[in-house]
Amino acid sequence: MAVTEKPVALTRAVSPLLGSCELTHLGRTKIDLELAAEQHSDYEKALEKMGYVIRRIPETPHLPDGVFVEDTAVVFPEIAIITRPGAESRRPETETMAEVLTEYRKLEFIQSPGTLDGGDVLTLGKEVYVGLSTRTNKQAIKQFAEFLKPFGYNVTAVPVTKCLHLKTAIAVIEDDLLLINPEWLHPATFPDHHCEPVHPEEPYGTNLLRKNHWALCSSAFPHTIDWLNARGYSVLDIDQSEMAKAEAGLTCCSVLLDLV
Ligand code: GLY
């Protein structure tokens, strides 16, 4: 297994077919591919600022959603689980992710008829919440729980019907503080945490990344940025307009391997 001295962020180049990506809750609007590539590069630079070394996994230009690597794998300190994405068009995205991740972790694989997108997985210590969504089914959640059981994790399924993934509606801000869209996810799901409601004008503001004193947030969410600033975080705000048109947020574009 590769030993890393710095946390690693796995990313992938934007496909020239991004304009034909999967869409579930959004209508299709034209994506500027050149701008999308620039914005993705800004995202990678922001992750570097947050302390990550960027490793780009092999390109998959024939796969429209390939840049949204989060959905292909879920990494824990002990193992990585290679998913079987819910959208059939996305299933081949996992092959190259598995090839790279095997350098870092022992791998387990979600098997048919299970389907699971990494965007549906929220980890809070040893408690793992998995969205039961249009992309993730009960069979996969059962397999997921079996893989994690030997390491002491408890897996809970959470129905997600109003947005694409569980993590569209929630972000971990601190160990005991979550930012949540209460229209899409009931705060009672997380009784041991304080659930701060996201500003009602920014329903997608919950899809942000927090690490150490940093918070990475889309510039489309000024109220959320103000809230993060007021809590004392160093906010990196980047324009992600083109990824948003592809129904993706900030967590979707990387798989993070934090130091264990
Ligand atoms: N376009 C992101 C997804 O639907 O998977």
Domain ranges of the chain: 8-257
Distance 21 CA to ligand 1 centre (A): 6
Q: Which numbered atom of ligand 1 lies nearest the CA of 248?
A: 2
The number of beta carbons lying within 10 Å of the beta carbon of residue 196 is 17
Buried b (16+ CB within 10 A) or exposed e, 119-146: bbbbbeeeebbbbbbbbbbebbbebbbe
Residue whose token pair is 């997600």: 160
H helices of the chain, in order, are 33-49, 94-101, 138-148, 222-230, 241-245
pLDDT band at 181 (very low <50, low <70, confident <90, very high): very high
Q: What is the pLDDT of residues 109-129, one digit of tens each?
A: 999 999 999 999 999 999 999
Q: What is the pLDDT of residue 198?
A: 98
Q: Find the catalytic residue in 165, 193, 195, 217.
A: 165
Distance 62 CA to ligand 1 centre (A): 15
CA dihedral 83, 86, 91, 97 (to 10 degrees): -30
Residue whose token pair is 């609007």: 29
Distance 65 CA to ligand 1 centre (A): 6
Residue 2 clears pLDDT 90, i.e. is over it: no
Residues having CB within 6 Å of any atom of ligand 1: 21-22, 24, 65, 68, 87, 246-248
CATH topology of domain 8-257: L-arginine/glycine Amidinotransferase; Chain A (3.75.10)
Distance 150 CA to ligand 1 centre (A): 31
pLDDT band at 223 (very low <50, low <70, confident <90, very high): very high
The number of beta carbons lying within 10 Å of the beta carbon of residue 230 is 8
The yes-or-no answer on residue 165 being catalytic is yes
Give the N- to C-terminal CA distance of the chain in Å, as an integer.
13
pLDDT band at 4 (very low <50, low <70, confident <90, very high): confident
Q: Is the pTM of this model over 0.85?
A: yes
Tokens read off for 154: 């408890």
Mean pLDDT of the chain: 97
Q: What is the pLDDT of residues 80-91, one digit of tens each?
A: 999 999 999 999
> Which residue lies with its CA nearest to atom 4 of ligand 1?
22
